[in-house]
Structure 1
């Protein structure tokens, strides 16, 4: 089990407990970012050894902070 954090700009796009699809975006530099589809939230930058292998996850929690909204997504890894 692995939990990752994704930044979401607007609330109300997804709900806690919802299953989501995750897509990978890569650059030639060996750095990867991930999207909760359809472009709901974005991850930070991951190196090759930190890559997310799962393409589906479940939203455990939606956090509201001064900087915006964050999804905590549980991945089966």
Structure 2
């Protein structure tokens, strides 16, 4: 299973156990992912790190001094 982290600006938008839709965006040579409808956004990834799944499961929502982070799990192999 592959896990990815998404930055969320405020709490309560998603909960652990929830199935979420993810869309892909492109900036220059990098790909990024958004939990729809514009709930949280991932970091940038290279082409060989692209996500193949369009849906994932929220496994954790963390609160840090930098904000909220959503950890999602996808049904595909992890990439480093």
Structure 2: tracts of 5 or more residues without a match: none
Structure 1: tracts of 5 or more residues without a match: none
**How does the TM-score come out when normalised to structure 2?**
0.92
The count of residues paired between Structure 1 and Structure 2 equals: 76
**Residue 11 of structure 2 corresponds to residue 7 of structure 1:** no
**How do 1:21-60 residues align onto structure 2 when only pairs under 5 Å count?**
21-27=21-27, 29-60=28-59
Q: Give the corresponding residue for 1:72.
A: 71
Question: Please, what is the CA RMSD of the aligned residues?
Answer: 0.7
Structure 1 runs of 4+ aligned residues shifted over 4 Å read none
CA–CA distance in structure 2, aligned partners of residues 30 and 49 of structure 1: 11
